[in-house]
Amino acid sequence: MKFSNKSSNVSSFVAAICITIYIGAIIFGAVQIAIKTGERRNLAEREFNDLVDRAASSSVFLGFLSDSYNQIIRDFLLNSETLSGIIIIGSGGEFAVEREIGRYIIWNGTAPRFRTGVPLTSRPFSLPIRVEGQRNVTVQAVFSYYDYYFYQNVLRNTLFAVLLALIIALTTLIIELLARNKRVYQVRYPDTPSSSSFGSSVTFDPVCERLKSELQRCTSSEQDLVFLCAEFKYQIKSSLFNKFHDETVNFFTSWDLVFEKGDKGVSIIIPDMNFEEGLSKAEDFRNHISSVTNEYEFYIGLSSRAGRLVEAERLMTEAYTALKKALSDSDAYIIGFKSDLEKYRRFIKGKIY
């Protein structure tokens, strides 16, 4: 089974892109809102100054707080882009108007006042105006920072960006899972358990002697066993190899079951573990070694007893052959040989009878 570092690199790259899109969308939305808030305040100040001029001039022609005068102020509010409520106070009376009744203005008897603590609403603007026959005439107004359509567009664009990042991440995950499912190598050996057909292309001692004893013990207790060999594709420095060896011993915890394999690999005996568990352990082992050594051209071959009365030489040769295939296949980092137990049992039965 292969777990390619290329896939992990692609996943990391895609994750970085997605995170960048998330952060970029949030920052872009926040900047747009900040800019819009400043623009609305400037616009509100201009509209308030226009209101003050309109209130002063209309009092001359229409009469202060007359019905026509009040209607002019009401129409101004409705046509404003930012103002939410207006209060005009003078010695001759008071007039108040708001976009949403009861939201911005409260009445204390006959005296209107602006509410405090209304979300996204400014502190009141206030300016005095001169009206003939009136004293202490003041125009007040509040405006809203909230622009429904603008915020709706910003939120929609942000959600689109987040959705795009999620689609990219999900697509990458699906492709990686599909690719991983296609990268399973299980070579079945239905033939004799004898190791004679494998020759003597590998050196088995002292690994072979220890494997023989472990196989005998596991066979007597009906336990499975995995033999795993791992190797860097290229020569590494001795200091790095020493670190690799130490990490291997720490990972598998049994120092007496870890053996050096040349100057760039190890052989490992793992009792009481089946083939599938061995593949999972090999994946974890490879990820760990790659992370601590920053060397990703690291390959693993493995085989298991799988209920067979298998000889140590054959089990080792199966694992070494798997490793050789992994080293020669640039698209495979972990390969496991799995025996066909049913054919093996039929073979044994034929031998007995």
Q: From the CA atom positions of the chain, what is the Rg in Å?
A: 40
Does 63 share its domain with 134? yes
Cβ atoms of residues 136 and 90 within 8 Å: yes
Question: Of 148, 177, 208, which residue sits at a domain end?
Answer: 148
Would 28 be classed as within a structural domain? yes
Which pLDDT does position 195 carry in this prediction? 38
Does 138 share its domain with 205? no
CA–CA distances in Å: residue 206 to residues 213, 267, 304, 324, 350: 11, 11, 19, 21, 34
pTM of the model: 0.45
Which pLDDT does position 102 carry in this prediction? 84
Would 176 be classed as within a structural domain? no
Does 219 share its domain with 123? no
Would 179 be classed as within a structural domain? no
CA–CA distances in Å: residue 71 to residues 13, 58, 110, 118, 251: 63, 10, 19, 26, 84
Positions of E strands within the chain = 83-90, 93-98, 105-108, 111-114, 125-129, 137-143, 186-187, 225-232, 258-261, 265-271, 298-304, 334-337
Which pLDDT does position 191 carry in this prediction? 38
Q: What is the pLDDT of residues 171-224, one digit of tens each?
A: 877 876 665 544 444 443 333 333 333 333 444 478 999 999 999 999 899 899
What is the pLDDT confidence band of residue 8, given thresholds at 50, 70 and 90? low
Domain count, the chain: 2
Does 134 share its domain with 208? no
Would 343 be classed as within a structural domain? yes
Amino acid, res. 310: V
What is the pLDDT confidence band of residue 315, given thresholds at 50, 70 and 90? very high
Which pLDDT does position 346 carry in this prediction? 55
Does 249 share its domain with 141? no
Partnered with residue 270 across adjacent β-strands are 226
Does 202 share its domain with 321? yes
Does 115 share its domain with 252? no
Question: Of 125, 148, 171, which residue sits at a domain end?
Answer: 148
Place of tokens 């009401």: 74
Q: Is the pLDDT of residue 7 over 70?
A: no
Q: Which long-range contacts (CB under 8 A, 24 or more apart) does 3-11 make?
A: 3/180, 3/183, 3/283, 3/286, 3/287, 3/333, 3/334, 4/183, 4/331, 4/332, 4/333, 5/290, 5/296, 5/333, 7/176, 7/179, 7/180, 10/172, 10/176, 11/172, 11/176
Q: Which residues of 251-261 are buried (b: 16+ CB within 10 A; e: fewer)?
A: ebeeeebbbeb
Share of the chain above pLDDT 70, in %: 84
Alpha helices (H) along 183-311: 207-220, 238-252, 275-293
Would 31 be classed as within a structural domain? yes
Would 162 be classed as within a structural domain? no
Q: The CATH number of the domain where 303 resides is what?
A: 3.30.70.270
Two tokens, residue 117: 């603590």
Does 270 share its domain with 126? no
Which pLDDT does position 265 carry in this prediction? 92
Domain that holds residue 70: 5-148
Does 84 share its domain with 230? no
Average pLDDT over residues 120-138: 86
Does 144 share its domain with 282? no
Place of tokens 């999620």: 166
Would 52 be classed as within a structural domain? yes
Place of tokens 């031998």: 351
Q: What is the pLDDT of residues 250-288, one digit of tens each?
A: 999 888 899 998 888 999 999 999 999 999 999 999 999
Does 200 share its domain with 342? yes
CA–CA distances in Å: residue 197 to residues 85, 88, 89, 285, 309: 95, 105, 108, 31, 16
Two tokens, residue 198: 């494998």
Does 119 share its domain with 248? no
Would 15 be classed as within a structural domain? yes
Amino acid, res. 346: R
